[in-house]
Amino acid sequence: MASSGHPPNSSHVDGPLLKKRQARRPSSAAGKSTPARPRRTIRLAEHVRPEAIDLHFELDPGRKDFRGDARYRIRLGRRCRHIEMHSAELRISAVRLRVNDESIVGRVEAHPECETIVLRFDRLLPADEVVLEMRFRGRVRDDLRGLYRSTDRKEPWIASQLCPTDARRFFPCFDEPGTKAHYTIRVTAPADQTVLSNAPISNRSATGDDGHRTTSFETTPLLSAYLIAVAVGPFEASPAARCGQTAIRVYTLPGRQPLARFARRAAVESLARLERWFKIPHPYPKLDLLALPDFAFGAMENAGAVFFRDSVMLLDEKEASAEDRMRAAETIAHELSHMWFGNLVTMAWWNDLWLNESFATWMAYEIVDDWQPDWRIWHEFIHRRERALELDALRSSHPIAPPIRTAEEAHENFDAITYTKGASVLRMLERYLGASTFRKGVRLYIRRHRERAATASDLWSALSEVAGLSVEEIVAPWTLEMGHPIVRAETRRNREGNIAIELRQERFLVLPSRRGNARAKRRGAGQRWSIPWLGRVGRGSRSREIRHLLVRSRQTTDLEATPPEWLYANASEAGFFRVDHGEEGFARLLHALPKLSALERIGWVGHQWALVRAGRARIASALDLIAALEHEEDPDVLAAAERVLALLLERLAPDCGPEIEARLRSWIAQIFETQFAELGLEGPRRENASRRRRRARIVSIGGGLARADAIVVACAERARDHLATGNPLPSGVGDEILRIAASTGAAPLQTALLAAVRNATTPQSRRRSLFALAAFDHGKGLRCTLRATIDPGLAPAVDRATLLMLLFSSPRAAETTWNHLQRVFSKLERQLPPILLARIVGSVANALPSDQAPLVRAFFAEHPLAAGSRVLDQVAEEFAIAKRLRARAGKDLRRYLES
């Protein structure tokens, strides 16, 4: 699932029952909810194993409810009197169990606090194969999970989103990832609607004179419940493209097929490369890609029927930016890699969620880089890694592989640690073992556990078998412990007079451990990683890589007698750790900056800013580094600098007063003004993509951050012309032009942007106009934008949630936005799934004054998040970091700018 080693079952609790925790929202299950002892389901009983499940759904996008019937072929491993399974907010009836030609009626005992039902029978059931039948009814939801409904141009459609734990809201099931069964699905729906599911259609038959028909699908291979997919709507199909034996089709809502060409091409290119990489053909008989305007995540890897948010997948290739193409290609490759890693072989329990998502993340970048090497997509990965490093530098982080007792706890882990830190560790491991060895180990793992569930230990075992070393010993500190190291690297002469690199490691935290928590301090001080360290040293025009396995807190590695002129301590940014070169090393590197690769320049900007936030370096060092990028031509390096400058303007400069903020903007303009003079707002038609992306960053830095008058005026003129006449915006800079123009606060422009959102013909143009509204950050303009965040007729819910998060990054808008969030929070709880709501809450500390921290904590004490409280701990820590940064670095910023 796109956004964004867990221990092998060590935290599992045997047996299905634990103490009840009061549910926040009782579900309406069928049968009488029997007052029973307080209980909480951890795992379903292992002796009840479904083998085949037949489902028949009666679905109509025009209705707000649905019904169905189910037939389960179950293997009972021992005699019992009851069967427990998952069911949430469903009404269950007509429960009957057939065994040895005998039919037994069952009683339904609902446990909404556990999201389960217990089916009780009056006689002892044999340890044998039994057939369970029941009927069920439920409501079509509005919050983008379970079976949910939305509309497109007033025409309704319905679709399922069952990951991680929402299959139980669609049909009674065994909703655990390690429980797999064969599914045979039938859907009765209006005859004029398209019906999609995981398997190819086997039959269509009319149901009578009511205008409905039943679509029957072939039986699936073994699948987990969360991978089941159903959608009903006025969908249109592309012509089939073929990759080997697999037919690939892209489904869209009416009129969108011209936007699907890139996605179909990317799917063919990705699938072909994945089949070669795994050395196994695509494991499912067909591959459908469905684009939906309202979808909670970037995409979901349902076997044979992958559902996407339309803004990720559908592109107008004439107006789409390079970033749009990269995001679409990476997301498609991510989801298709799950067909093998996640679907064919599935995690046994949610503690191995990271393995599914981090492998798909890493693999997607590998696949896209092989298809389009000119995109240099690994540069984008280093940007993405920044968020993971920042999150992992908090005391409130979590291990890649946290102990997960309940399925509910899995909701907390769909974050940058699970996806990006995990992918970074796999990238580091692949480089250490070698690409060929790593690939052979993964292939062995897939072959060995095909159509079954597996654990991270199973993967480490296969890799160890191929590599001839204990992989788990290397990986365990990275996956089982939270946090990451900082590596301090300096060149010195050793006792023999030779040049050596001294390496030191310790845990990197932005905030020190809490005062008085001696145990936490000792644990952090003693934490060690096995770091497959890769550095780069250079002298003159030459450089070379140095490898060393750093396992102790301090080690040295010898060099030749001639000392290098410079040392960079994370070559190609292959390692998931921060680096510190010391003052002398920093100065040497600054002089050698052009000799570093673009990946290293991107990484170094992020590392230096992290040192500033943690109080390990002066703010002058980060600004000196950015100033040295005055003539930088790589767009991704410029983006790294832009991000740091934006954070300074969000968090530090406003607290230093308007004079310092103005001086910082002026300083930014002086650094990059010559680049804008060279590039302008528009280039020639056949300009290469890198130069076009460079222009977008310079326009954004100069007009958005520096607020240079010439750029702002030029953007405002182009925006007015575009919105009035429809004339296209310059290629690659449309987002920046509208956003900078909106910063002028002109009311007619806001009115025009709102109209453009409503009338948009592509997802990119819709989002471009919608997100530009975030620049109206005060007064009437802000109030209008805040109304837009809760207008369901304006844009899909996920886009409106993103607009809300953008407003939290504006110092002028943050307090008013926080007040707005409190007023509409109950409404958002009904409209958004818990994971997405938690992401909105996670953005609250971006620019909100730190004195609001107690109020934020108090509000969420009364309105607990369904996705867990970890994000609130992270928000509280970010507030504390901002307060500390202001106290420590505010004066340094003033002195730097005044000098």
- Mean pLDDT, residues 705-731: 96
Q: Quickly state the pLDDT bin for 2 (edges 50, 70, 90).
A: confident
The pLDDT of residue 121 is above 60: yes
Instruction: Report the predicted TM-score, pTM, of the whole model to 2 decimal places.
Output: 0.94
| Residue 245 half-sphere exposure toward CB, CA atoms < 13 A | 7
State residue 514's pLDDT score.
63
State residue 20's pLDDT score.
30
E strands present in 472-541: 485-493, 499-507, 531-539
pLDDT, one tens digit per residue, over 312-321 is 999 998 889 9
- Asked if residue 575 lies in contact with residue 532, where contact means CB atoms within 8 angstroms, the answer is yes
Query: Which residues make Cβ contacts (< 8 Å) with residue 684, sequence separation at least 6?
Result: none
Query: Which residues make Cβ contacts (< 8 Å) with residue 485, sequence separation at least 6?
Result: 505, 506, 507, 508, 527, 528, 529, 531, 577, 578
Element (H or E) spanning 97, and its range? strand 90-99
State residue 10's pLDDT score.
33
- As a whole number of angstroms, the distance between CA 833 and CA 867 comes to 9
Element (H or E) spanning 695, and its range? helix 689-699
The pLDDT of residue 325 is above 60: yes
**Residue 512 φ/ψ, nearest 5 degrees:** -65, 165
Find the DSSP H helices in 726-813: 734-742, 747-759, 763-772, 779-788, 797-807
The pLDDT of residue 18 is above 60: no
The pLDDT of residue 32 is above 70: no
Provide DSSP, 609-650.
HHHHHTTSS-HHHHHHHHHTTTT---HHHHHHHHHHHHHIII
- Mean pLDDT, residues 618-633: 98
State residue 854's pLDDT score.
97
The pLDDT of residue 4 is above 50: no
- Asked if residue 246 lies in contact with residue 336, where contact means CB atoms within 8 angstroms, the answer is no
pLDDT, one tens digit per residue, over 659-701 is 999 999 999 999 999 999 999 999 998 899 999 999 999 999 9
C-alpha gyration radius of the chain: 28
Q: Quickly state the pLDDT bin for 209 (edges 50, 70, 90).
A: confident
- Mean pLDDT, residues 424-435: 96
State residue 525's pLDDT score.
59
**Residue 473 φ/ψ, nearest 5 degrees:** -65, -35
Beta strand pairing status for 201-206 and 146-152?
unpaired
Q: Quickly state the pLDDT bin for 407 (edges 50, 70, 90).
A: confident
pLDDT, one tens digit per residue, over 450-465 is 999 999 999 999 999 9
State residue 1's pLDDT score.
83
Residue with tokens 């799917």: 267
Q: Quickly state the pLDDT bin for 406 (edges 50, 70, 90).
A: confident
> Rounded mean pLDDT of the chain?
93
Of the ranges 22-36, 126-140, 481-495, 610-624, which one carries the lowest mean pLDDT score? 22-36
Name the amino acid, one letter, at 214: T
Cα–Cα distances in angstroms (integers) from residue 533 to residues 76, 304, 463, 471, 488, in the given order: 51, 40, 20, 16, 12
Cα–Cα distances in angstroms (integers) from residue 194 to residues 114, 204, 215, 251, 621, in the given order: 35, 11, 9, 10, 59
Higher pLDDT, 517 or 898: 898
Provide DSSP, 144-167.
SSEEEEEEETTEEEEEEE-TTTTG
pLDDT, one tens digit per residue, over 171-201 is 999 999 999 999 999 999 999 999 999 999 9
State residue 895's pLDDT score.
94
Beta strand pairing status for 485-493 and 578-580?
parallel
Buried b (16+ CB within 10 A) or exposed e, 234-269: bbeebeebebeebebbbbbbeebbebbebbbbbbbb
Active site (catalytic) residues: 335
- Mean pLDDT, residues 103-132: 96
- As a whole number of angstroms, the distance between CA 532 and CA 763 comes to 42
Nearest alpha-carbon partner for 148 in 866, 837, 830, 867: 830
Beta strand pairing status for 48-58 and 180-190?
parallel
State residue 190's pLDDT score.
97
- As a whole number of angstroms, the distance between CA 749 and CA 77 comes to 68
State residue 524's pLDDT score.
55
The pLDDT of residue 7 is above 50: no
The pLDDT of residue 65 is above 90: yes
- As a whole number of angstroms, the distance between CA 291 and CA 314 comes to 7
**Residue 613 φ/ψ, nearest 5 degrees:** -60, -35
State residue 780's pLDDT score.
97
Name the amino acid, one letter, at 504: R
Name the amino acid, one letter, at 286: K
Q: What is the dihedral of CA 304, 310, 311, 316, to 10 degrees?
A: 100
Query: Which residues make Cβ contacts (< 8 Å) with residue 278, sequence separation at least 6?
Result: 340, 442, 443, 446
State residue 39's pLDDT score.
45
- Mean pLDDT, residues 352-374: 97
Distance of CA 818 to the CA centre of its chain: 24
Cα–Cα distances in angstroms (integers) from residue 242 to residues 194, 272, 287, 352, in the given order: 21, 10, 10, 33
Element (H or E) spanning 319, and its range? none
The pLDDT of residue 832 is above 60: yes
State residue 563's pLDDT score.
87
Of the ranges 228-232, 329-333, 410-414, 781-785, which one carries the lowest mean pLDDT score? 410-414
The pLDDT of residue 378 is above 70: yes
Whether the link from the prior residue into 864 is cis, omega within 30° of 0, is no
- Asked if residue 128 lies in contact with residue 99, where contact means CB atoms within 8 angstroms, the answer is yes
- Mean pLDDT, residues 650-657: 91
Q: Quickly state the pLDDT bin for 40 (edges 50, 70, 90).
A: low
DSSP β-bridge partners for residue 194: 233
Cα–Cα distances in angstroms (integers) from residue 594 to residues 394, 590, 868, in the given order: 32, 9, 45
The pLDDT of residue 283 is above 90: yes
The SS3 assignment for 405 reads coil
Q: What is the dihedral of CA 652, 654, 660, 666, to 10 degrees?
A: 90
State residue 318's pLDDT score.
86
- Mean pLDDT, residues 339-348: 97
